[in-house]
Structure 1
């Protein structure tokens, strides 16, 4: 840098992840070992988002003093370009190292070397007379050294000079360099030549490829700002419990080393952490792509399918092409604009095939090496689109679930002394669902041990509103018959065999086999190897609350009765209770003896499922006259 009063121009090269897994581990462990060659220059249409060296871990972990260290030849860029880029940088809040007080000589001193080493990004603006300055050449040698030894980012702008001339020290640039070398030692000439050859291999901005210099300056400033954002330390990554195991497993599915275009699904129930995983992936690997987009869940707001698809494409293109509020008038635009670009697109919380048809219809829409990541609760959406690379997000291990709860409740990874049993019960109530654990933990934060104890009954019987809001989305998307089947399972058939439920409902108007498939595909249900129906405890609680709200004041108007006190009230009232389909009564929940009239079930003409446990408090003085004719399942343990 030969002018102490001027700010430099900066070129931007973002992260090249040579291996997804290695990149993540470097990010976590602050280890940086791999280097990958990149092209010598980039045009506006082919600007590579590759970093000169895989430096993101270094950026995050080191104690940097300066944002940017510049190296440039003032006489080439003093007027025009440099002043314009300086103004744009100031507008974006980018600060540069200035060497006003450093004494210039042929050799750069320890103060300048320290400044280079303590800068997040070193920038080299190569112009036609750059090689006329031994000061610039010595800076360049030190910058390349930091690139190799410290994994420092090196950014390049080739300003009105051919990168190949820089690499070979030929043409007009070579003539300037040759004059500088006259009378210099063989060692100095060799060091300078090697540094120029090395820097010319780094992908950078070639000003000759830009028709509008203002556009290039705007792009440079924006990219530098983005890189500095990436370099900012993350405050939340360490709190993403279990994320490393997810990253390890999904790395093989993504296969980032391949140049193929690949669509990958992330599938799992609501609240399991699909979006969190996708965002973490996006932050780690986005710098290996020229264009990126994270498209959040978009609900249908149009009656017309074409209008909805156009809206989705506009969202996608606005992000990938960095064109705010882009408007298009036909559905061929996305393919035409993206087919030659290496893109990373995350489509979050996809619910219907039309969303994929609009934003990622075919792999041919995207350039080589592109990755399209889709998160969904419904695996059928992925299957229908022919997506075979799917990562299923499972529930965390018990130890991880406990850690999630404790971080939310105590701000540390383990419970306070004396809270061990209480936290174990809350983990059980949350069913290890990350969303439930976080919400429960936040609710309990700051409570004393006694307050925890008093809060537990409420957690056992009611669903937190924030949890319900998320889980309810999956339920609301079902058709009416599948909603009914879901409620049957939540209220009566959980932990029963699927074949038994099929027999009980064979005369109903429900398509049970199809419904079970839908509920399984949408992560609302699972069926284990021995045919038992399994449902997450929070989903079951949601189902019970939906039934409870059918009629808050009149239990006999609900389809299922599960609360012992409500059941006692209904059975004590011999008037018509024609809405009731199922009763699940645990007598132990009743404090006093329950004496039933012989006509207790006469008014329940629709009753199909009856289960009674522990009859030691149940009395039938006159027996029962009859049971409803539609009864399909009767479990009455120790009938009196």
Structure 2
């Protein structure tokens, strides 16, 4: 097998970055979107805990960069925040330079009012610009005009918000499916391995399957696993690639600490603490997940992170890469 490296990258930390303003939007529309996205396995950046100031925070710039899609929620008070307007400018720069997908939601405002900064939206915009330079006003006005020309969801003409939010989640998934990762283009021999792995994973099977990839170092086990995640992640509610496992058991990282790190990665939540080994099953047994455990070198790692198929929800798939084939010779690996 010969694998030729590619220089492009699609390793995004988040699927969606939401740009919005106001606690009213956070408590209503955004909270319902977040719940629906969680159900569909769509990771969304959460800005709670970031202190607001006059300038957009570096952490937000970083989150925009690490997101595949930005969803701009344009409400009556959106333009009352210079922070949001700067955020929008940054999002549109990413759209031009990096082909980031931008989606729009018009929440209580008309696209015309956003495009031309009129009505209540215009009043908020003018109040913000009163304290700014003409250069900033023109920059923001141009960004609002541009984003309002992106066809989006109009909640003023919506008689069922729940259905509309479900549609947004489907649209996000469809856009992801329509823009596949190009990281693995040109890798000779990879497609044949992916075809074989797809057959072993049997993605239409309703039960849980665990599949192993074994072989000596340097033959491309990790590359195959990453390509699998890229190709099939949209079929699962949550996906997680767990690397740096080699030596984790021998280094003294105990079972619970390993599980804490694992759950934090799977659920995209920092600082998870657990006090018994049943927590993985409690948190994941209803979820359809794709878990990849890379470079496993001790049976204790498997026992800590994927000991039983009942830990994971129906149609979940667990992929393990290892140099030690004996680790995979258990009755639940195929």
TM-score (norm 1): 0.32
CA contact under 8 A between 1:70 and 1:97: conserved in structure 2?
Answer: no
Query: Equivalents in 2 of 1:248, 1:44: separation in Å?
Result: 32
Go from structure 1 to structure 2 and tell me whether the alpha carbon gap of 1:256 and 1:356 turns closer, same or farther (over 3 Å shift): same
CA contact under 8 A between 2:285 and 2:313: conserved in structure 1?
Answer: yes
**1:127 maps onto 2:73 in alignment:** no
**1:330 maps onto 2:326 in alignment:** no
Deviation for aligned residue 1:300: 4.7
Query: Equivalents in 1 of 2:248, 2:215: separation in Å?
Result: 22
Deviation for aligned residue 1:74: 4.9
Query: Equivalents in 1 of 2:170, 2:77: separation in Å?
Result: 18
Query: Equivalents in 2 of 1:77, 1:141: separation in Å?
Result: 13
Choose from 285, 288, 293 the match for 1:339.
Answer: 285
Match for residue 322 of structure 2?
Answer: 376
Choose from 272, 279, 299 the match for 2:226.
Answer: 279
Q: Deviations over 1:522-559 (max 9, x none)?
A: xxxxxxxxxxxxxxxxxxxxxxxxxxxxxxxxxxxxxx
Match for residue 48 of structure 1?
Answer: 40
Query: Equivalents in 2 of 1:242, 1:69: separation in Å?
Result: 35
Match for residue 320 of structure 1?
Answer: 266
Query: Equivalents in 2 of 1:356, 1:200: separation in Å?
Result: 36
CA contact under 8 A between 1:302 and 1:308: conserved in structure 2?
Answer: no
CA contact under 8 A between 1:264 and 1:387: conserved in structure 2?
Answer: yes
Query: Equivalents in 1 of 2:276, 2:88: separation in Å?
Result: 37
CA contact under 8 A between 1:265 and 1:382: conserved in structure 2?
Answer: yes
Higher gyration radius (CA) = 1
Deviation for aligned residue 1:339: 2.3
Query: Equivalents in 1 of 2:309, 2:159: separation in Å?
Result: 34
Query: Equivalents in 2 of 1:381, 1:370: separation in Å?
Result: 20
Q: How does 1:197-276 map to 2 (within 5 A)?
A: 201-203=167-169, 234=182, 237-276=184-223
Go from structure 1 to structure 2 and tell me whether the alpha carbon gap of 1:327 and 1:86 turns closer, same or farther (over 3 Å shift): farther
Deviation for aligned residue 1:364: 2.1
Go from structure 1 to structure 2 and tell me whether the alpha carbon gap of 1:9 and 1:375 turns closer, same or farther (over 3 Å shift): same
CA contact under 8 A between 2:115 and 2:149: conserved in structure 1?
Answer: no
Q: How does 1:130-169 map to 2 (within 5 A)?
A: 130=110, 164-165=160-161
Deviation for aligned residue 1:43: 0.6
Go from structure 1 to structure 2 and tell me whether the alpha carbon gap of 1:298 and 1:324 turns closer, same or farther (over 3 Å shift): farther
Go from structure 1 to structure 2 and tell me whether the alpha carbon gap of 1:379 and 1:264 turns closer, same or farther (over 3 Å shift): same
Go from structure 1 to structure 2 and tell me whether the alpha carbon gap of 1:94 and 1:367 turns closer, same or farther (over 3 Å shift): farther
CA contact under 8 A between 1:76 and 1:128: conserved in structure 2?
Answer: no
